[in-house]
């Protein structure tokens, strides 16, 4: 169970990247976005909710195994947050990469309430919820960006 937990927490090993593990870990979201973009909204939401619930547990368990609540190798939270940013959009490389950039920006900046979740909840919930908040900011920025690009 330990190996499976660490495998999931690291997005199949991406969290072990020697630098920028959060950025590298977010890359796991791009093929999932490709897969899930064609799904009905309700199926996307059901699957995302399942991944969210799993990530709370996995992030918390991996933090205990590593001895650090938000260890850099734990990147399943990046996957969850990125899937918020691109939620319910049709697949395109433009959406995938702009979403990637917006999500990473807000995940790094941690505007409220992301910073509060990150600093106040020292468990799997805090590890994941700051990325969900960053994902919501990313979703808004991505939608506005796509609308502006469409008008050009």
Region 47-63 average pLDDT: 98
Quick check: is 138 in a domain?
A: yes
pLDDT, position 152: 86
Q: Which domain holds residue 89?
A: 2-10+21-151
What confidence score (pLDDT) does residue 98 get?
Answer: 99
- Residue 95 has a pLDDT of 98
Residue 143 lies in a domain: yes
Residue 16 lies in a domain: no
Q: Token pair for residue 34? A: 């490709």
Residue 118 pLDDT > 90, yes or no? no
Token readout for 54 is 């799993």
Number of domains present in the structure of the chain: 1
Would you say residue 147 lies in a domain?
A: yes
User: Is residue 15 a part of any domain in this protein?
Assistant: no
Kindly state whether residue 95 falls inside one of the protein's structural domains.
yes
Cα dihedral 30, 73, 8, 101 in deg (nearest 10): -10
């Amino acid at each position: 169970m330990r190996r499976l937990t660490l495998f999931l927490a690291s997005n199949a090993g991406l969290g072990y990247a020697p630098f920028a593990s959060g950025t590298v870990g977010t890359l796991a979201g791009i093929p999932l976005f490709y897969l899930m973009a064609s799904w009905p909204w309700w199926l996307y939401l059901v699957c995302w909710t399942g991944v969210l619930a799993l990530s709370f547990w996995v992030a918390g368990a991996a933090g205990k195994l590593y001895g650090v609540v938000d260890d850099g190798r734990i990147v399943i939270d990046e996957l969850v947050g990125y899937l918020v940013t691109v939620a319910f959009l049709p697949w395109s490389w433009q959406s995938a990469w702009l979403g990637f950039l917006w999500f990473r920006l807000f995940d790094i900046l941690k505007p409220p309430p992301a910073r509060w979740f990150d600093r106040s909840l020292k468990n799997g919930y805090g590890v994941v919820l700051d990325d969900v908040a960053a994902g919501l900011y990313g979703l808004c920025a991505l939608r506005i960006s796509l609308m502006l690009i469409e008008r050009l």
